Amino acid sequence: MFNDSSAEPAAGSSGSNENVTKIEPIRMPTIEEMRAQEVWNNCAVKSVASGVMGGGLGLMMGLFMGALDNPIMHDTMTGRQQFVYTAKQMGQRSWSSCKTFAVMGLVYSAAECIVEKARAKHDIINTAVAGCVTGGTMSARGGPKAACMGCVGFATFSVLIEKFFDRHT
Amino acid sequence: FFVVVRILLRNSTFFFEKVEISVLSNSSIAEMASPNPFPAGISKEQAFSMAQTEMEYRVELFNKLAQTCFSKCVDKRYKEAELNMGDNSCIDRCVSKYWQVNGMVGQLLSAGKPPM
């Protein structure tokens, strides 16, 4: 079953003309390739990488948002002082947004990884549960009712995003 | 399909190490109760034919294992080329269960008891 297609390219390329693309034989992966793939199979590595990416995204978004809305006061400060003040505001906002997004990415990725490993199946329930856990922990400060609302909202959001990406592959 | 072989190969790297050991000293289909892998009286041709039978048995086992675990674990819609993490853990569990049961059945058959 696995060895049939490796015998095929010899017969196929000898009788074909130049229009047919050449079929490469199946190449077994080396042990280093398998080990490199195994690194990404680890939940901790995946969630940390996700957290870092979320942090980067949060930085960009915080910089953008911080640049958009800040009061420009011509009377009280000179130009250079205004620039420094604006830069500080942008930095603060982007740092807080970076932290929020990093935590969100980390929790979501860790939850999805753990749930999927435990269930040993890949379907939409994993993203829903992971979204619920993330939304719940992020809005847990507002009390149980806010946690439930956050859970439902973020779960719906992540399911929609997952379906959106699924349609395009 | 390609990647399934990859991952099944990962799970069976330990199994392929065992093939060399078991060709010499397996008791499931070799002669009974011989601690010395090549006792006096077995000619070279007999040893070769034993090794060949053993190899055929192992290849059959691997093919059946790959087919069973693929049909059980991998979703047939084939949405992406890589194996998901859920598929990976499913394949791990499937292969370890299959291997364990295979070992038990082999031991029972070689000990002469009827299989249950």
Q: What is the mean pLDDT of residues B64-74?
A: 94
Q: What ipTM describes this predicted complex?
A: 0.70
Q: What is the DSSP letter of A123?
A: S
- How far apart are alpha carbons A144 and A73 in whole angstroms? 42
Q: What is the percent of chain A with per-residue pLDDT over 90, rounded to a whole number?
A: 47
Among A143-147, B41-45, B92-96, whose mean pLDDT is lowest?
A: B41-45
* Sequence spans of domains, chain A: 31-120, 123-168
Distances in Å between the Cα of A107 and the Cα atoms of A14, A57, A99, A142, A157 are 54, 15, 12, 18, 15
Determine the pLDDT at residue A109.
95
How deeply is A112 buried, as exposed, middle or buried, from its count of CB atoms within 10 A (0-12, 13-18, 19+)? buried
Contact A34 B79 (CB under 8 A): no
- How far apart are alpha carbons A149 and B48 in whole angstroms? 70
- Helix H segments across chain A? 4-14, 31-39, 43-68, 79-119, 124-138, 144-168
Among A1, A2, A119, A169, the residue to mutate for chain B (most B Cβ within 10 A): A2
Is the pTM higher than 0.80? The answer reads no
Closest partner residue to B80 (CB to CB) among A37, A119, A169 is A169
Among B13, B85, B89, the residue to mutate for chain A (most A Cβ within 10 A): B85
